[in-house]
Amino acid sequence: MATNRLDEKIADGRFAIDIRLFLAAVTLAMGASFVAGVALGESSPWTPSRIFTASHPTVLQDHDHQYKAEQPDTMSSDTTEEHLPAGQHLLVDMEGVDGDFLNSEAQLSQAMVDTVKEAGLTMLSYHCHSLTPTGVSCIGVLLESHISFHTWPEDGVITLDLFTCGSNPLLPVVAVIERLFGIGEAVHSQWSHELRGFRPKSGTKHYLDDNSDLSLWVLSPLEVYSKEQIYGNMTQHQRVDIWDIREV
């Protein structure tokens, strides 16, 4: 008898409104759960990392040993230049540098930022570590490539390298590095300049090509006590460079 009454109620539609209300309630509950999950996900420390392009430079978050690089409102004019799979690599070793300076993250990072700025390059981000018991290591990511250095305060030594795939010449940056990092009364530096990567087979060779006399005898050797450019100019027919070199 009870079964027959239930069939009659379903047949005449008296339970239809209850089923519709049930489905509506389930739908609303699922929607609320989805919204809550999205809200919690945005605040979760496990959210995926965002992907950035070079046209929107990023900076490191401000934690213990990370420093934000000052970012320009717009990228430098170098963004319009072609960045080939080739570049210039500058290696600079310095000794006799003030130990306190070589152990200061703040002073060293500022010198790195100023070097990049004066070289006409674009700093994207950089990161420094204080080492134990002394010393600092830094790496800066450039739009054009990178800059890095390591210090030994107790020995007064810093080794620095700067690599770029842009067209700005790096030879003039040697004097900038010596001025900004050569803090001390009896600082001595030695440096090397190399062409890196692969250049087009056709076309005019770079005047600092690895096979040139200037590259082989002057720029490439690192362990040369002193080398200084006295004169450099492009005449109507050829380029003239005069260097003063002391090997010991």
> What is the DSSP annotation of 160-191?
EEEEE-SSS-STTHHHHHHHHH--SSS-EEEE
Mean pLDDT value across the chain:
77
- Is residue 236 very low, low, confident or very high in pLDDT (cuts 50, 70, 90)? confident
Residue-wise pLDDT for 140-188, tens only, equals 999 999 999 999 999 999 999 999 997 788 999 999 999 999 999 999 9
Other beta carbons within 10 angstroms of residue 32's beta carbon come to 10
Structure tokens at 211: 């096979």
Given 150, 167, 188, 220, which residue is catalytic?
150
Is the pTM value of this prediction over 0.95? Answer: no
- Give the percent of the chain with pLDDT over 70: 64
- Is residue 202 very low, low, confident or very high in pLDDT (cuts 50, 70, 90)? low
Given 128, 165, 189, 215, which residue is catalytic?
165
Give the burial class of 237: count Cβ atoms within 10 A of its Cβ; 0-12 exposed, 13-18 middle, 19 or more buried. Answer: exposed
Average pLDDT in the 26-52 region?
A: 49
Structure tokens at 132: 């134990």
Q: Which letter does DSSP use for residue 213 in this model?
A: H
Under a CB-based contact definition with an 8 Å cutoff, are residues 140 and 112 in contact?
yes
Report the alpha-carbon angle 211-83-113, nearest 5: 95
Q: Which helix (DSSP H) or strand (DSSP E) does residue 66 occupy?
A: strand 66-67
- Is residue 212 very low, low, confident or very high in pLDDT (cuts 50, 70, 90)? confident
Average pLDDT in the 10-38 region?
A: 58
Question: Which positions ≥6 away from 146 have C-beta within 8 Å?
Answer: 139, 140, 162, 163
> What is the DSSP annotation of 125-151?
EEEEEE-SSS-EEEEEEESSEEEEEEE
Other beta carbons within 10 angstroms of residue 217's beta carbon come to 13
Q: How far apart are CA 177 and CA 91, in angstroms?
A: 11
Give the burial class of 92: count Cβ atoms within 10 A of its Cβ; 0-12 exposed, 13-18 middle, 19 or more buried. Answer: buried
Q: What is the per-residue pLDDT for 168?
A: 81
- How far, in Å, are 95, 119, 135 from residue 106 at the CA level? 20, 20, 13
Given 104, 109, 145, 212, which residue is catalytic?
145
Q: Which residue has the higher pLDDT, 194 or 78?
A: 194
- Is residue 22 very low, low, confident or very high in pLDDT (cuts 50, 70, 90)? low
Q: Which residue has the higher pLDDT, 90 or 12?
A: 90
Q: Which residue has the higher pLDDT, 82 or 110?
A: 110
> Residue 62 pLDDT more than 50?
no
Average pLDDT in the 52-76 region?
A: 41
Q: What is the per-residue pLDDT for 174?
A: 96
128 is catalytic: no
Average pLDDT in the 92-114 region?
A: 98
Q: What is the per-residue pLDDT for 189?
A: 97
Under a CB-based contact definition with an 8 Å cutoff, are residues 88 and 193 in contact?
yes
138 is catalytic: no
56 is catalytic: no
Q: How far apart are CA 132 and CA 112, in angstroms?
A: 21
- How far, in Å, are 33, 142, 161, 177, 207 from residue 117 at the CA level? 51, 11, 16, 12, 25
> Residue 80 pLDDT more than 90?
no
